[in-house]
Chain A
Amino acid sequence: MNATGPRQKSLALVRSRRRAEQGRTPARRPIVILFSDDSTLIFARRMREVLQAAEPDCLVEMAWFTDESALSYRQITQLLPQGPDRVLGGKQLVSLMRDPSVSAIFTSRVYRAMQRPLNSPVARWSGNRPCILSFLGGLDFFPAQGFARRRNCDAVYLFPRAAIDAYREQVGQSTQGWQETGFGHPSVIRPAGPPADLAERRDIYFFTQALSPSTLRGRLHMLRVMAAIARANPERRVFIKLRHLPSENRRHLHLEKHDYPGLMERLGPLPSNLLLTDITMEEALETAALGITCTSTAAMDLLRAGLPAMVYLDFVDAYRDPLVPPMRKMFQGSGIITSTEDLLHLKPGALNPQWLEDMFCPDDLGARVLKTVDRFHARDFQIRRG
């Protein structure tokens, strides 16, 4: 039956407009972000924020990859109280990499299960599949292995800026297929400025790590330094922020030999304003006036939040710590590497803006990664089956 009357004509017009609209914007497909431990879950949360800030309608699903999981119940409850949107084992992850209903898979770790499909040219050149976009796990002092694992991803986002050239030089022609490289990471977005209430804040945080300082003497030295700072500043609270509790993360990539709560018991009476805490990084950054760290990515979190940071690399037995030389190299010229005297007197150095620009990406990261995903789906050569 042909549309002849005015009512039929307007209905036909509405339908044709709807069809044209659907042609312009394909049905929205979710972006899946993988996580398996506290580091990757922090990445996933930040990536979700970045994507939703860039495009509020963006569908983001948090997927817990359980084959390499090292999350405690406390950590997942604290960091993702609403729970994951998907729970994946190795086989499900491989199926997800072929799933046409997913727009992209974002990950900060290229899991073992992903390697085989990534290394297969047929899988790599196939159309109707999600874009595999990988970021670095964090501040990577020895990125060569990480670069090699990412060489067959569809897109690789790196930092600092110099890492992009280093990646291209290393990977060169060994990757075959469409690949885009970009600058950035959701944990290193350029700070907008210091928080408005910074002058009123009093709390000092020491962000601990599992690996650094690596020796018992080095850790005891750090504790003594924190206790001395607490004694010298009785009106301020000095928090030792634990990455995880002593009983947690026994399967974590970085295992802690000497935990701070145990060491504090050995030191004897400590000032009452020296406290242990296991709150999240975001919670700590809300009240911190100053952050201290040795070789941790926490320095980046502090700078991202516009807070003064002190990177202390002169602790006792620092020469035994393999992370000290690369940390010193990476923060060379930043102005925030602090001597023992300056640390004890709480005198953070001035941050070098040029260094900041090379290390931290602009705040359009979300828009840029979404464009990368669009370009991936519009790429020239794609094997289409079925």
Chain B
Amino acid sequence: MIGKLKNSRTGKRLYRFSRRPAVGWPIRSLARFLQSEHFQPSHFYPANRAHNRRVSEQLERFEAALK
């Protein structure tokens, strides 16, 4: 989706606008936020959350056994 936007005319206009020193910062901040790791939708999928939980629990159990 972001790839398509980048190649579109609107995307290019937005990019040029975001490069303006005085007024471009809100767009740059929004882009940074949307691309940040925490915002990625895949982190919220139940299967992925279950995967992370399972792996972390396995590691925690192993670490606890070492103590």
Contact = CB atoms under 8 A, between A and B. Distances in A.
* A and B co-occur in one complex: yes
Interface of A: 215-217, 221, 224-225, 228, 231-232, 314-320, 340-341, 344
Contacts of A232: 62, 66
B40 A228 contact: no
A9 to B, nearest CB: 80
Of B40, B52, B56, B59, most A-chain CB atoms within 10 Å:
B59
B40 to A, nearest CB: 6
B51 A224 contact: no
A319 B45 CA distance: 10
B55 A228 contact: no
Interface of B: 37, 40, 42-43, 45, 48, 51-52, 55-56, 58-59, 62-63, 66
A217 B53 CA distance: 12
A228 B37 contact: no
B48 A319 contact: yes
Majority SS of interface residues in chain B?
helix
Nearest to A227: B63
10 contacts: A215-B37, A217-B37, A314-B55, A316-B56, A317-B43, A319-B51, A320-B42, A340-B59, A344-B59, A344-B62
Majority SS of interface residues in chain A?
helix
Nearest to B67: A231
B59 A221 contact: yes
B63 A228 contact: yes
B57 to A, nearest CB: 9
Contacts of A215: 37
Contacts of A228: 59, 62-63, 66
B59 A225 contact: yes
B66 A231 contact: yes
A228 B45 CA distance: 28
